[in-house]
Structure formats: C-alpha cells, structure tokens
Structure 1
Amino acid sequence: MQHPERRLLVCVDMERYSRRGNVQQYEAQQDFHRLLREAADGVGMDRVGWATQQAGDGELAVLPREIPEARVIGRFLPELNRRLRQYNASRLPVARIRLRVAVHQGMVHLDGANGFPGQAVVMVSRLCDATPVRRALAAFPDAGVALVVSSDIYRDVVTEYPEEIRPDRFRRIEVVQPEKGFSEPAWLCVLDEDVTSWRDDASPGQQPSSLDEAVKPGEAAQPSGESGTGHGGEPPAGGIRTGNIRVNGQNAVGPGAMAIGSIGRDAILRPDVDR
C-alpha cells in the first residue's frame, strides 16, 4: 500500500442521465468528456494528468498537486459553465447536459484496487449527490453548473482567492443523509445565477445566506405574518398598486408612511395608523 496523498477532488454528475435513451446516453457521454477537455484546455489545464474514476453519468477526478485550487474553481468551472450554456442553447431539454459539481480536498489512496479509498472521496461524492444541489440546479433551467464546495474549500479558496466566482454568490446549506449518519455543512453556487434569492421549500431548515428573506426568482417578497394583499394578489380595499410597489391607506405615501418587508423588488408601504 502506498502512502495516501492530499489532493483536490472534483466529482461531476450529469442531471437526468438515466432518463435518456440508449443513443442519447452514448452521445451525452461523448459530449461530456469533450466539454470537460475543451474547458480545461481553454484555461491552460491538461486533463491528461487527472486520475479519474469513471461512471456512465459522471466522473470522480483526483487532480495533480501542481494545479492551483483557485484556478479550478475560479477559472475552469466558469469556463465549463459557459461551454455548457452554449451547447444547451440549441438543444431540446432532454438532450441538454447540465452538471452537478462538488469540490473537496483530503487524503486519498491512488493505488486502490477498485477506485480511490479515502473519507475525502466519500465526502465529495455525497456533496455532489446532495438533494439541495439537485433542487438548485432544477430551479434554474438555463444553468450549466451547480457547484457545491466543502467548508474547507469555501474558507481557504473561495473567500481568499476569488476570481470569476465571488464568495457572496454562495449560500450555506446542510447536506444531511440520516440513513448513513452523515451531516455536513457546505456552500452552494449555481454559476451565473443568483442562488442566494432561491428558497428551497422542500427542505425545511435550509436558510438563505442573504440578510433579507429569500424568495424564489420572480416571486414577490412578503413580511412574516402579513400578506399585504387580498385574494389573487390584489391590494386590500383602499390600497393602490403601482408596478412592484403596493400602497395601502390614504396617507401611505408621505409623512408617517412606513415600509415593511424586504427592501428590494417589492416593498409594502403602510401608514403608522395601520400598525
């Protein structure tokens, strides 16, 4: 047994691969590898030196020590996302390639008999398969890459050496698999999308990283406990709605007016007498 090495691990998985027919799976595999190779070449990285463990719908890659971690996250993945968006633009949804990508680092044995032994490998695989990551990618149909990184990678790489992906584009999530006794924090980003404004209603306890209450893309924000509207989203009697601003009461605009709810796309204004 050789000594384990500390390496950067990248786990990649295709969305909805099993729903494709035989020919579609064959073509998706070909294009998957081509897009990865072209994205790496585009930022001066040679994939020949990557040690990979292949699966039909993705791969686990152990990167060479000489490849900077910041280049992988800050340049390679944005380039991959751009190429995927171009590839998908002319294809039907069933033929598109959209990826979940997880990045972690840790000790790994490179001479395993059936893969790469190591807890870091287990960790990065579970991050890639996490339900919040799947839901985030599904919530943004034009996206090419949903990226999840471990807390170590977020702290040491994303926040210290941001390139094309800023730290404020990530949000903290909890990756929980009770049947395996697994629960770890991680950081999620959907490249070129605002994941901080996305609310995962199907996962109670997932908190947005932004200060304001998160809303789904295109959804109006509402303060807790007060809807500010009547049935069908209309303002209550006596109120006025102009564009994205709801106004209620005769004195709602002017002295004594008060804004409640998130400041942003939607604000609800009421006079002090209504509170």
Structure 2
Amino acid sequence: MVSSTEPCSPAQYSLIAVLDIEGFGRRTDPDQAWLRERLRVVVARALDAAHIDELSSEDRGDAVVLLIPGTVPKTDLLGGFVRALVAGLRDHARDHTGDRAMRLRVAVHAGEVARHGEGWVGTDLNTAFRMADMEPLRRALAGAPDAVLSLAVSHVLHQGVLRHHHPGLEAHEFAPVVLSGKEIKDETVWIRVPGHPAPATSSSSAGPTPPQKPPAPEPAPANYGISATHVTVTGVGVNHGTVTQSWTGPVATGSDATAADLHHELARLRGELKEALRREEIDDVTFEASEEELDTAERHARAEDEEGRGRLLRALTKLKALMADTAALAGLVATVTQLIQQVRGQA
C-alpha cells in the first residue's frame, strides 16, 4: 500500500490526453471488459501511426489517460494521433454495434503533472478530466449519431497550436465553449467533432448542431437542457446567452412524445443532478447511482419492444426513488414522474 505521506516526484510538463468511452456504465461486465481491451488496442495503433512512442499511460476503467513528454510535437498528437484514432474507431464501428459499439470523448490539455505512488497528480490533469466530462462535449457527440469521437482541446493548446492553422489540424472545425464547475471557472475549451465541420454564422462560428427538440406544449427558454455549470459563449449545441435550467414545465405527450424529446429530458436531468452534486444537495453515491439509471434510460429511449420499454420504465422508476428523499430535487422527481407516464402512455 502506498503511504499517504509518500512525496510526489518533481512535476514535469506533459501533454495530457483523456479518452473516455461513451455510455460505458450501461454495458454488462463482460462487454465492459471487452471494450477496455479494444480501447487499448485502438489507442496503441493510433499512437504507433502518429509515431508517438515515448509516453506513460493509465487505465481508469472506462477511460485511458496518456501522459506524453512535452518534447513530442503537439501537432503529432492533435493531428496524426487524432486522425488515426478516428480511423481505428470507424473500423471498429463497421464490425461492432449495440453494447460493443465504441465512441469516445477525448480531451487534450498540457501542463505540470507529478508522479505519486502508482498514479499521477496535478491541477492540469484534473482539468483534463473535467474537460472529458463536460456537458457540451457529451452533447456534441450525442448530437452526431454517425460520429465516432468528440474532441476537446484546452485554450492553451488552441493559442499555441490550433490558431496557427497548421496543415491537418482542421482548426476551422473547432468551436469555443466556456467550462465552469468545481475548482474550474470560466476556462475556454475548443470542441470539434471530426467529420462534422462547424457551420459559419453571421456572428461567430458555432459547433455541431444536435437534433432539434420537437415542439412541446410549453417551450423551454434558451439553452434548455444544458447544465448551468457549463456556460457557453459560442458553443456546441447551445444558443447564445446566459445558461440557466429554471424551466420545469411539462414534457411533451401524445404525438410529440418522441425519443428525441425523451433524450432531451434525460440530458436535462443529468445536468440538474450534476448541479445538485456541486451544491452538495446529494452525495456521490446517489449521484453515481442516478447516472447509472440515466445511462440505462438513454440506452432504451428508442426501444419499441416490450422488453426494452420495460427496462426504460424500471430505470426511470429507480431514478425517481433515488431522488425522492431529497427535497431540493422535488421538481426533478415531478419531471421523472411525467416521463414514466409518457412512456406508459405509448405502450
């Protein structure tokens, strides 16, 4: 066992890449083990194709962390590695679907990282993990069903590399968002979904656009469904303006109660739960259990068979029970109750 008093090694400047499998928690244990092995293979091949052979890595279950010496050209990581990674994931997608499909959220940052025992520590490493988990990056990938990867690059790398438009980096495809939450405040992050160019607008460049929410009896205000911890300036999949989550109107029913609408509601619930965790209104155990049920619900949101619909209802029922004892989540409990009624009404 590593002693808690064991000193850290001197911090060293490194390129940091966090690669996180989308929807990992909703898979069965055998599928999770198989995906972890496939992720290692795909990443190793991409590193080899980019001629990056000097690095350290750590397997964190659904994610892989790469620490690459600062002497490695950043264009090799942001260019050759990303291209080879996308190619490898597309090869994987041709042969594997369902629970063995593999799409990644990738965050790339740079900074000081120190070795401590069997792992690494550092504020810049923490930032990379926050980037990989940020809601705009999740929504960018969810909004592009045919994509295999969404990429977040820190502002320091954008300023040092991307803005110079080196060949092969596709700098024009990136759109800026602002990340805030926990120890991070107003950090600009640049997001791209390879193969999905950011459309030009009259005011600024926007990111990939997710499917539009069908009309509902009570429309949500601007930026509906985005966590309030992630404020977007010219972001991916959101409108301009101040991000809020105060809307608690009824969800659509009848002909408007589509799978796309349900996905919007589940994304909103996920963002609200993250806010509740930040405000310490729920504990980590409740949050993680709720995340698992949300993953299951998202997996079966489009189910048309009785078994899939049953799993969706069970996930929503468990989610409601997890939140029922927290007074601050009363509005979310009401929303989940409406979702349950909506799904039952479609049976």
Q: Which residue of 1 aligns with 2:117?
A: 113
1:188 is matched with which residue: 188, 191, 205? 191
CA contact (8 A) 2:49 2:80 kept: no
Q: Give RMSD over aligned pairs.
A: 2.3
**What code does the residue aligned with 1:154 have?**
H
Q: Which residue of 2 aligns with 1:139?
A: 143
SS at match of 1:121: helix
How far did 1:155 drift? Answer: 1.1
Q: For 2:235 and 2:134, how far apart are their aligned partners in 1? A: 18
Paired residues, number:
208
1:39 equivalenced with 2:43 (yes/no): no
**What code does the residue aligned with 2:14 have?**
R
1:155 is matched with which residue: 153, 159, 163? 159
CA contact (8 A) 1:169 1:189 kept: yes
Q: Which residue of 1 aligns with 2:298?
A: none
SS at match of 1:149: strand
SS at match of 1:56: coil
Instruction: Rate the CA distance shift 1:24–1:209 in 2: closer, same or farther, 3 A.
Output: closer
Q: Which residue of 2 aligns with 1:66?
A: 71
1:123 is matched with which residue: 118, 124, 127? 127
Q: For 1:45 and 1:37, how far apart are their aligned partners in 2? A: 9
* TM-score, scaled to structure 1: 0.69
Q: Greater CA radius of gyration, 1 or 2?
A: 1
How far did 1:65 drift? Answer: 3.3
Q: Which has the higher strand share?
A: 1
How far did 1:209 drift? Answer: 6.5
How far did 1:161 drift? Answer: 5.0
Q: Which residue of 1 aligns with 2:96?
A: 91
Range 159-168 or range 82-91, more displaced: 159-168
Instruction: Rate the CA distance shift 1:166–1:2 in 2: closer, same or farther, 3 A.
Output: same
2:225 is matched with which residue: 202, 205, 208? 202
How far did 1:197 drift? Answer: 4.4
Matches within 5 A, 1:9-88: 9-46=16-53, 49-88=54-93
**What code does the residue aligned with 2:162 have?**
V
1:176 equivalenced with 2:199 (yes/no): no
Q: For 2:67 and 2:166, how far apart are their aligned partners in 1? A: 22
CA contact (8 A) 2:20 2:63 kept: yes
CA contact (8 A) 1:11 1:124 kept: yes
Q: Which residue of 2 aligns with 1:3?
A: 10
Structure 1: where are the runs of 5+ without partners?
215-275
Matches within 5 A, 1:229-244: none
Q: Deviations over 1:138-161 (max 9, x none)?
A: 111111111101111011111225
**What code does the residue aligned with 1:25 have?**
Q
Q: Deviations over 1:39-58 (max 9, x none)?
A: 11122222xx3212221111
Instruction: Rate the CA distance shift 1:44–1:176 in 2: closer, same or farther, 3 A.
Output: same
CA contact (8 A) 1:85 1:142 kept: no
| Greater RCO, 1 or 2 (C-alpha within 8 Å, sep 6+) | 1
Structure 2: where are the runs of 5+ without partners?
1-7, 199-206, 211-222, 241-347
Q: Deviations over 1:53-111 (max 9, x none)?
A: 221111221102332111100111111011101211232232111111111111111x2
**What code does the residue aligned with 1:151 have?**
H
